[in-house]
Amino acid sequence: MMDASEWSGPVGDVWATEWQRTDRSFAGLAPRLNAAAIAAVAGIDAPAIVDIGCGAGATSLALAAALPAARICGIDISPGLTAIAATRAADLPNLRFATGPVEALVGDQAPVDLFVSRHGVMFFADPIAAFAAIRGAAAPAGRLVFSCFRDAALNPWASELLAAVLGGPQPVPAGYAPGPFAFADPDFVTPLLEAAGWCDVRAISVDYNYCAGEGADPIADALDLFSRIGPTARAIKAADPAERGAMLDRMADVLHRHRSGDTVDFPAAAWLWSAQAAAGEAQ
């Protein structure tokens, strides 16, 4: 489980140093998400768009370049990430970034025609309240488009590596806990969004390539990445220091199985969600 204080502090700081490698890992998914977001505001001359959990700004930047008449605000709880995003967006006058909880800041952007997020919505402490706040800032018929991971078993970059690090398959926790796979079950997400005031809720499965390492030594590149971010990094950090060397050796064995030339590639599986703001108030 990960809470907001981690993202606003040490976890966000690590992701800020790793933004280029994390953008690389999502490169196979990003075009699908961006195309869905652009299609959602087709016909609106100057849409207002909010990027939820914008990270280092990849989605915001892509939309600002594709929709120069749009007014775009990326929001993230990590000051380190929004600082990088702002630097990357220095030449885009239609794009700005704000730091803080989206639930607290999104009202300042109302009315919003589109909310978009690349894997940034799975960490709310109270997801119904968060999506209700987002819905409250939506324009009439405002749209929501976001991606999130499907089941961990379909994402071996997490499940295989974590099993190797911890010595066997890990049980799936019961109930909701903020984290990368919190929205893996569509039977959980659909009623959640509906309770928060969204309708026409739909999910499309997307399979893509997760590039974990590349270059002259892609194994070392991937090993360094997974030692710093994601479920394996948390497990290694929590382990007895005397055990960490063996954990890294087992993780390297998995990475070798996924090496192809100068890259380490894993299959990855995501949901691409869409919804529309329902008339009236959230329940």
CB 213, CB 263: distance < 8 Å: yes
Question: Model confidence at 2, in pLDDT bands (50, 70, 90)?
Answer: low
Closest to 239 (Cα-Cα) out of 253, 251, 222: 251
pLDDT of residue 177: 84
Q: Which region, left, alpha or beta, applies to residue 139 given φ > 0 means left and ψ of -120 to 50 means alpha?
A: beta
Q: Give how far Cα 277 sits from Cα of 28, 106, 112, 116, 199, Å.
A: 28, 15, 10, 13, 6
Q: Does domain 4-151+173-209+269-277 have CATH number 3.40.50.150?
A: yes
Question: Model confidence at 283, in pLDDT bands (50, 70, 90)?
Answer: very low
Question: Model confidence at 176, in pLDDT bands (50, 70, 90)?
Answer: confident
Task: Please state the domain extents for the chain.
Answer: 4-151+173-209+269-277
* Average pLDDT, integer, range 158-163: 95
Count of helix runs (H) and strand runs (E) in the chain: 13, 8
CA geometry: angle 26, 145, 177, nearest 5 deg? 75
Look-up of token digits 């706040």: 133
- The whole-model pTM stands at 0.95
What is the spatial distance between Cα 92 and Cα 94, in angstroms, rounded to a whole number? 6
